Structure 1
């Protein structure tokens, strides 16, 4: 992870860093940029559709909103704790998995997270392609190809461009959703919707699980977008900026989805983009809404592509023994990711998308144990100390395979199985608990506790201080 002694590259448009350590003279930005980025990442039609599921599956408006907010807070704490690691370590999120799993062992969660990225990108692209097609008066196929080209360019420009878009869309997206709320609620009595309450534990806990899982899914790449902040940035301030931005953005969008589903029913479900634009009537306002919806999903897609490239680079450098990748290699990886999900989006039909979405949600069961292990190790075992050069050395303190970490991860996945509920598998304890899926809670608490117990007295391999590239 060698760094250059060259002057600061803050003014360079195309990012040159990838998974390598960010030196002090290239650190920039403020926690405010974290707030605007994560509020922007959540002000999307996909987030609104996710919130609508609580009503579609039988929940009332009031308890759905309460459950979603509680889940946002729980999941937001988890994702923000990951985000706070970025400025302190100066590295993207998933490479830190080498501390808990070993240089080769980290490939296990990395492969799974790459699959998750492709799934989210595929579903989001199909949805956004409809908006772009309407906006530009082109076919959905051409719209998807245009989106792919834009995402490629934005991901290549990298960190600074992504944050700049976040600052712009935090205003544009915020105003857009305010307008959509006003238009949606015009002529409807919100107090009646909120006053109709029929609390049931399954529907309430479903809402909690849904929003908590939404937040936790950001864990594998949230630090990718905070790693350029100065090392002096307070971890608490970073935590709050990331967490509050993500919680507010997602709760705002999901609340719209809940109300839209309760008010419009079938008019919203399955026709989300058309319905949202229809609230602006036609003409210039409709065009602006199409543009805003597209921009929101463009940011979300760029985050996934950029994060997936960090993960692919982490896998390849573990296998070839290199510490960094060049711009050419990064461009190839970006194109590979974009071509893959664009091809799937072009070939997808509604049946395929539903099955694929269920599969991706099923994969989330593999990330709660990773998140628990990563956070317990960083904050409780390693105590925020990382030997950064050793992350690229298979013969270093972290080794090729960290068997205890891998074993706890496997246990964390296995203990969730009896509690799972998905199209692919429903565990026996799901029905015994009254149709409540608590697998994500089990997947955080049990592996986190076991990992701490296993490592609390056996801290061989952990650094006693942070060893940075520029301190050698």
Structure 2
């Protein structure tokens, strides 16, 4: 007969073993929960310390800002957007569900499909963009054509995504280590070739440029909202919400600040030659030869982490939509794998077809789509923390005839209203609102969207037909036992 010690050793060994994840959009039972809040720090640290984050920060300077105030503005945006992102992360252990499943509590089991369809499109675009950049870096390693690097990167991303949650967290820890080594080397090299003090002396404050820097980094963080709880849902239910919040916030803000600040410095140092040659400028800081190859490799590895997150989040959103209309709490393993392969195939096709001309325009469209994620985020957070007070009926989220119904018009009206309210304040290459010029070209849509949507959603509460449960109801728990969760 096995002893308690033997059982615990076996359980611990099982957690260390890598196997294909069997869960997708379903509830994670308590006996399958493991890990600590620290995993959220390493995950989001690795997800942000890469070339795309660097280039995003550089835009604050390229688009007319100075060095000093661009760095300050970017940091403010990191914290503001990071708080929104981390509040979503804290939902994972409480509900044991992927992020977008909880949207059914606000929008209805069918109504949640509206933001989900837009989010799938976002994942496809971000994944295609990452695949192009990383594929080019891989191709540089063996001086081959870009399409071979794109296919290689896409296939590797698919393998990690199929294995799932556990390998994603392990990957993030290794990516964090590789990225730290690469960035430390690049920072040292940059300090050797550039006059950092002189660059910091470039101080020409402009409200327009300052608010643009805030918007760039805040939007970067808010875009994680639709999938951040996907990577905290396996944590034990008693995990402190405060620790999950702090670790997710710390990981994402610290790494993004490092990368974006470096991006501002490089853009200011390189001048006009930076735009259009972003990767080449970064690689040029190396000493050439083997070092250049290692930098290209670190770029590809850094992009792998975020691309796996995008592919994983994309298939989760697809299956959330499917399972909602089918009235299912979970989907078969075969369907899970097929949806991942479909997501990967479409993103690789987009990358191959549009690597030269299509993706820049599509990236602008993706930024425009952020106007849909801000209202979704406002509704989700307002409901979870202020209306439902973190109390959800999890089994009812898979039942169109249950507590949450098919459609919740209060949330749907607030969502559409939140999108429309932002439009006059949006400034992208794809679309510019009529009030942007009066504000000096500043995009404040994300601030307007968060505040106005939350107020509108609260005001529409009388149209909300739901009854809020007195306590969180989970599929596996005994209704006579209260759920104990640390604050």
TM over 0.5: yes
CA displacement at 1:455 relative to structure 2: 2.5
- Deviates most, 183-192 or 159-168: 183-192
CA displacement at 1:179 relative to structure 2: 1.0
Corresponding residue number in structure 2 for 1:342: 348
2:390 to 384, 395, 419: 384
Pair 1:431-2:427 in alignment: no
Partner of 1:233: helix, strand, or coil? Answer: coil
Instruction: Please give the alpha-carbon distance, in whole angstroms, between the structure 1 residues aligned to 2:464 and 2:123.
Output: 35
- Is the 8 Å Cα contact of residues 111 and 407 (structure 2) preserved in structure 1? yes
- Is the 8 Å Cα contact of residues 90 and 232 (structure 2) preserved in structure 1? yes
Corresponding residue number in structure 1 for 2:259: 253
- 1:102-141 paired onto structure 2 within 5 Å: 102-141=108-147
Corresponding residue number in structure 1 for 2:56: 50
CA displacement at 1:423 relative to structure 2: 2.3
1:234 to 240, 247, 252: 240
2:208 to 199, 202, 205: 202
List runs of 5+ in structure 2 lacking aligned partners.
1-9, 479-487
Quick one: structure 1 residues 443 and 228, their matched pair in 2 at CA, closer, same or farther if it must change by over 3 Å?
same
Q: TM-score when scaled to structure 2? A: 0.93
1:463 to 430, 444, 469: 469
1:366 to 366, 372, 375: 372
1:443 to 440, 449, 454: 449
CA displacement at 1:319 relative to structure 2: 1.8
Instruction: Please give the alpha-carbon distance, in whole angstroms, between the structure 1 residues aligned to 2:464 and 2:410.
Output: 10
Partner of 1:440: helix, strand, or coil? Answer: helix
Partner of 2:111: helix, strand, or coil? Answer: coil
Partner of 2:469: helix, strand, or coil? Answer: coil
CA displacement at 1:458 relative to structure 2: 6.1
Corresponding residue number in structure 1 for 2:485: none
- Is the 8 Å Cα contact of residues 419 and 430 (structure 1) preserved in structure 2? yes
Pair 1:177-2:216 in alignment: no
CA displacement at 1:459 relative to structure 2: 7.2
Instruction: Please give the alpha-carbon distance, in whole angstroms, between the structure 2 residues aligned to 1:59 and 1:416.
Output: 24
CA displacement at 1:384 relative to structure 2: 0.4
CA displacement at 1:275 relative to structure 2: 2.3
Instruction: Please give the alpha-carbon distance, in whole angstroms, between the structure 2 residues aligned to 1:349 and 1:42.
Output: 22
4+ aligned runs moved over 4 Å, structure 1: 456-459
- Is the 8 Å Cα contact of residues 380 and 452 (structure 1) preserved in structure 2? no
- Is the 8 Å Cα contact of residues 103 and 401 (structure 1) preserved in structure 2? yes
Pair 1:221-2:227 in alignment: yes
- 1:204-353 paired onto structure 2 within 5 Å: 204-353=210-359
Corresponding residue number in structure 2 for 1:3: none
1:394 to 395, 400, 413: 400
Instruction: Please give the alpha-carbon distance, in whole angstroms, between the structure 2 residues aligned to 1:385 and 1:174.
Output: 39
- Is the 8 Å Cα contact of residues 128 and 297 (structure 1) preserved in structure 2? yes
Alignment: residue pair count: 466
Corresponding residue number in structure 2 for 1:145: 151
CA displacement at 1:351 relative to structure 2: 3.1
2:90 to 69, 84, 88: 84
Deviations 1:325-376 (A, max 9, x none): 1221111001111111100100114432211010000000001000000000
- Is the 8 Å Cα contact of residues 378 and 453 (structure 2) preserved in structure 1? yes
- Deviates most, 422-431 or 87-96: 422-431
Corresponding residue number in structure 2 for 1:4: none
- Deviates most, 89-98 or 459-468: 459-468
